[in-house]
Amino acid sequence: MSHNIEGNWKAGWALDLHTTSSIRLDDGSFQNTYSNVGKALNRLKYSGEEENIEYLVAELVAFLRTRLVTPYIEVIVPAPASKQRDLQPVYAIAQAVAETLGIKYDQNYIEKVKNTAELKSIEDANERQQILNGAFKVDLRYASDKVLIIDDLFRSGSTLNELTKTMYNQGNVDNVYVVTLTKTRVHR
């Protein structure tokens, strides 16, 4: 079940919620119930279960084929990774989606030019925005094009908003579209 996600982009969607419920346990940890997409993403990112890539790609491709704009997308770019991993899940998924749909893929379009703190521990939206301001750089290679950003998880939208702002202001792109695998139930 997809969800619209709001931001400074032309249109954005999350395939599903990341978790459907979360119960705080006595030890302070949480017992989460994940959506199917959320479970596959969690297992891929934190257990290294690469067999989940195929499922996540299939879900994204099936969804994107229902969007009227998909045939007009000129390039797919992954959101930059926030953590160093041997396998970057978003890059692998975005590349496979692009190949399946026959759309150009470019993981080098967005350059992160500023080291930033990990945002998931920062609750204040203004602080996150301040941290991200000027964190990315793009060139004019996709000026007047329609760009699709793929990311794994939508929380507050701070990173995707900054990426979109950068693409419009520095890259002169025509439109930015965003799709994420999941979104949190709380937007902080």
Instruction: Report pLDDT digits (tens) over 29-59.
Output: 889 999 999 999 999 998 989 999 999 999 9
pTM: 0.93
Question: E strand or H helix at 20, and its extent?
Answer: strand 19-24
User: Which range is least confidently modeled, 25-29, 90-94, 99-103, 108-112?
Assistant: 25-29
Domain that holds residue 172: 3-183
Note whether residue 123 is domain-resident. Answer: yes
In a domain, 44, yes or no: yes
pLDDT digits (tens, 9 = 90+) for 51-71: 999 999 999 999 999 999 999
In a domain, 188, yes or no: no
Q: Is the pLDDT of residue 127 over 70?
A: yes
Residue 102 reports pLDDT greater than 90? yes
CA–CA gap between residue 52 and residue 70 (Å, rounded): 24
Q: How many domains is the chain partitioned into structurally?
A: 1
DSSP 49-112: -TTHHHHHHHHHHHHHTT-TTGGG--EEEEPPPSS--SS-HHHHHHHHHHHHHT-EE-TTS-EE
Question: Length of the chain in residues, anyone?
Answer: 188
For position 141, which CATH number holds? 3.40.50.2020
> Are 123 and 188 a contacting pair, CB within 8 Å?
yes
